[in-house]
Structure 1
Amino acid sequence: MGWLFMSRYAMGGHETPKAYLDAQFTYERDLPEGGTSGLRILDSAIVGLTTYYAAAQVTRDGVGHEVFAIVCLVRWNARSKDGEHFGYKDMEESMGPCEDDCPERILRLLTSSDNESALQWRRRCLVNLRLRARKLTEGMRIRLAVPLHFTNGHEGTDFTVVKHRRGIAFRPVDGFGLYHIRGVRTLAWEVLPRTRVHKTLFA
């Protein structure tokens, strides 16, 4: 499915993209042969202001069954001058979305699946969660698996973590200046051991 854009005034009274999408994916329909089928959103989140993740449970005759993940790309601009304040593109996990920052609490709600694309997507999300759980503390030295190239011409792999304003920055181990590394928690890096010099004690 492609992108669908709309004015904020066409969102059915919902104030946020999350509220609108929760409502869109929650429904119950009568079946021609009798009974009902539908979906209910158990939990959802918008990550990075660009991606909606939800655990959606299939219902039959009002009873909950399997739970799968819905992923939506989101665009939100409340000040849009052309009236296209909100847009989204929806997919579900069996389509193998590129976006793989689903919160752990939502992954835990999903039931088992035998769809390989869905399973690969879940594994990618879990890997990213483990990477993001790594701590970066002031004074830590890290070595990136791949050298980074910066706009001022610097290229390097080894950096020291430095507190900077309300966040962190990186200073080259053998150089000067501070650099910001976008998405550093998802990059491949290792912690460099720090050499400690102990005082010599004489009897």
Structure 2
Amino acid sequence: MGWLSMPLSSMYPHSTPKAYLDNQFTYEHVYSPTGERVNTAAVDSSLPDDHQRRGLRVLASSCLRNKVYYAAVVPLVDGVPGPAFAVVCLVRWSPRAKDGYVFAYKDMDETAGPYEDDCPERILALLGETDNPAALHWRRRSIRNLAVNTRKLEDGMRIRFAAPIKFVDGHEGTEFVIRKQGRRTALALTDTGPARYRVSNLAKMAFAIVPQTKVHATQF
């Protein structure tokens, strides 16, 4: 499926990407035995027995930085829930768009093997069993990223990248020292040197922590 774009008026009464998408993936429709959707305003007991109610319900969702939407969604058949699966939507949120189209999204489920794999743990924990290879691979990537993202980078820690990194000033190297600058993290060349470099998505990069021998003062 391609991108679907819309102005804010088309999102009404929802004012955020998350609220709109939660609503899009929570619904119930009635279908005839031939698979045709029945045009009815509500599901009621007067429907023929051979008709079926099918839909979806969002259990939990997150729209990270208004760029990627993740949700655990259960399929419903006559009100009975099936195994939850993951929905992933790419999101474009531009409240000041000059053309008025402030919101766009492109949806897929985990069986499409989404490239985005920063799904929160609370959503992954709700997913049901699957034997789909693409979905299993996506879940493994997401779990691996959770482990990577929880690595703590402490001030003074020495790290070694798996491959040399080259910076715009010409310096190229693999070993650096972490320098914490408030919420930001920078890299220094030596234990006592100044912070010189910043690397995007540092926590996700392949690196190892270099053990450091600390010499304690002798006490008599």
One-letter amino acid of the structure 2 residue matched with residue 19 of structure 1: A
1:186 alignment partner in structure 2: 204
- Structure 1 residues 34-93: Cα deviation after superposition (integer angstroms, max 9, x where no partner): 120000000000123311000010011112111100000000000000111000000000
Distance 1:61 1:196, change over 3 A: same
Mapped to 2, the partners of 1:2 and 1:147 lie a distance apart of 38
- Structure 1 residues 102-159: Cα deviation after superposition (integer angstroms, max 9, x where no partner): 0011001000001000000000000100111111111111111111122222222111
2:76 alignment partner in structure 1: 59
Mapped to 2, the partners of 1:102 and 1:59 lie a distance apart of 23
1:172 is displaced (CA, Å) by 1.8
1:121 alignment partner in structure 2: 138
Output the TM-score relative to the length of structure 2: 0.87
After the TM superposition, which residues 35-114 of structure 1 pair with which residues of structure 2 at under 5 Å, given as runs?
35-114=52-131
Q: Is the 8 A contact 2:57 2:76 kept in 1?
A: yes
Distance 1:31 1:152, change over 3 A: same
111-120 or 8-17: bigger deviation: 8-17
In structure 1, runs of 5+ residues without a counterpart are: none
One-letter amino acid of the structure 2 residue matched with residue 191 of structure 1: I
Q: Percent same amino acid among aligned pairs?
A: 50
Q: Is the 8 A contact 2:179 2:195 kept in 1?
A: no
Are 1:6 and 2:6 counterparts? yes
What is the DSSP-based 3-state SS (H/G/I as helix, E as strand, rest coil) of the residue aligned with 2:82? strand
Please provide the CA RMSD for this pair. Answer: 1.6
In structure 2, runs of 5+ residues without a counterpart are: 34-50
Output the TM-score relative to the length of structure 1: 0.94
